[in-house]
Amino acid sequence: MLLKNGRTQSTVGSGFLVGTGNLVLTNYHVVSQMALDPDVYVGQYVDTDGKSGPIELLAVDVLHDLAVVRINRKGTGVFTIPEKPGKLTQGQYLYSLGNPLDLGFAISEGAYNGVVTRSFYDQLMFTGPINSGMSGGPSVTAGGEVAGVNVSKRRDGELVSFLVPVRYAQELLARVAAAPAPPKDFNPLIGRQLLAHQRGMIDRLLDAPLTLKPMGPYLAPVRESGQMRCWGRSNVKAEATFTADTMSCSMESAIYVSDTQQTGQLSITHHYVRSESLDQVRFAALASKIFKDWSVGNGKGPRLTAPSCTERFIKTNSLPLRAVMCVRAYRKFAGLYNFVLLSASTDDAKATFQSRLEVSGVSFENGMRTTRAFLDAMARGAKK
């Protein structure tokens, strides 16, 4: 990607010509600047022979991080997309190709290690290096058949990388073949794809009652599933005037929109704080500080409007609460919002149960539906 003013390089990624045509498969995140802000960014390819030329963006699949572009040269037939993806076996060697760190063409050898189901959409786990700049390149079998498209790696692990399954590339290429012309503006298309994602995400999230986890006398609503994981910690052994237990749950994947915006995600945090040594006034000040420390985002930005917040004192089940809900609208994608719900119990002068629910990239209806289900599930159990 190049900045139009000055033609300076902004980002770099990889791609590959499909068959003997002039269509190139790559990742959406490689061309996202061009898709979102075509008046600011333009694309250019440089092939392995050093020849260069412009690219034309034809299609994007934000949910699976894929894109198709057209260039002014033909492929040699080296990379073919099979009509039916071949069966991979765990431990089978694959070879990922791309432009690591913008150093030039390179091949990484690794092994296929199954389908990752913790992401919202299937990904293939590749035990091999996929470095920055290789995104969008092909990962092929020893026989040369494309098995997937390089997409990402885990920064907290060694040689744990991910591929987009080739079947998603097949579907996107079929849509390109059926389309009379590419959209003039990709933002409405991206918005529709994000709206489709959030419908499935919220339906799956709320298809069963939330799980209630005891935190002292309180019942904390969480959702544990293949897409969400929960973690806990405590300061119980620290030298402090209060005891704080924290439980955090979050989805392990998000939808990439741009370098400054990821969406289609949900997270939950609960704090249970109590003290025997602080008097009621000092504990109230502590509880207020903890509540204030939860930021909801300030001011308006290029992607989101400023937060619009509402505060109320409510009672759900057996628990009186102070609740603050803040909503931010997406500037480029009509009908999408980020919701943040903060709540704090008001039933005990020496203890506080505080929660934060954050859900991003949802319709207003689904945002309200999620926050309502969360509040309705909160309760106080038997006193301890």
Complete DSSP assignment for 46-114: E-TTS-EEE-EEEEEETTTTEEEEE-SS---S-S---SSPPPP-TT-EEEEEE-GGGS--EEEEEEEEE
Query: 133-147: per-residue pLDDT in tens?
Result: 999 999 999 988 999
**pLDDT for residue 384:** 43
**pLDDT for residue 183:** 93
- Rounded to the nearest integer, the mean pLDDT of the chain is 91
Residue 228 has pLDDT above 80, yes or no: yes
Q: Please answer whether residues 57 and 186 qualify as being in contact, where contact means their C-beta atoms are separated by less than 8 angstroms.
A: yes
Q: Please answer whether residues 165 and 85 qualify as being in contact, where contact means their C-beta atoms are separated by less than 8 angstroms.
A: yes
Q: Where are the domains of the chain?
A: 2-184, 192-380
pLDDT band at residue 40 using 50, 70 and 90 as cut-offs = very high
192-380 — its CATH code? 3.40.1000
Query: 292-302: per-residue pLDDT in tens?
Result: 888 777 767 88
Q: Is there a common fold for 2-184 and 192-380?
A: no
More confident position, 199 or 121:
199
Say how far apart CA 319 and CA 315 lie, in whole Å: 6
**pLDDT for residue 85:** 77
pLDDT band at residue 382 using 50, 70 and 90 as cut-offs = low
Residue % of the chain over a pLDDT of 90: 73
Say how far apart CA 195 and CA 376 lie, in whole Å: 25
CA atoms within 13 A on the CB side of 306: 3
Average pLDDT over residues 56-60: 97
Consecutive H or E run containing 159: none
pLDDT band at residue 156 using 50, 70 and 90 as cut-offs = low
Using a cut of 0.85, tell me whether the model's pTM lies above it: yes
**pLDDT for residue 136:** 94
**pLDDT for residue 7:** 84
Kindly tell me the sign of the dihedral angle through the C-alpha atoms of 159, 106, 60, 304. Answer: positive
Residue 55 has pLDDT above 50, yes or no: yes
CATH architecture of 2-184: Beta Barrel (2.40)
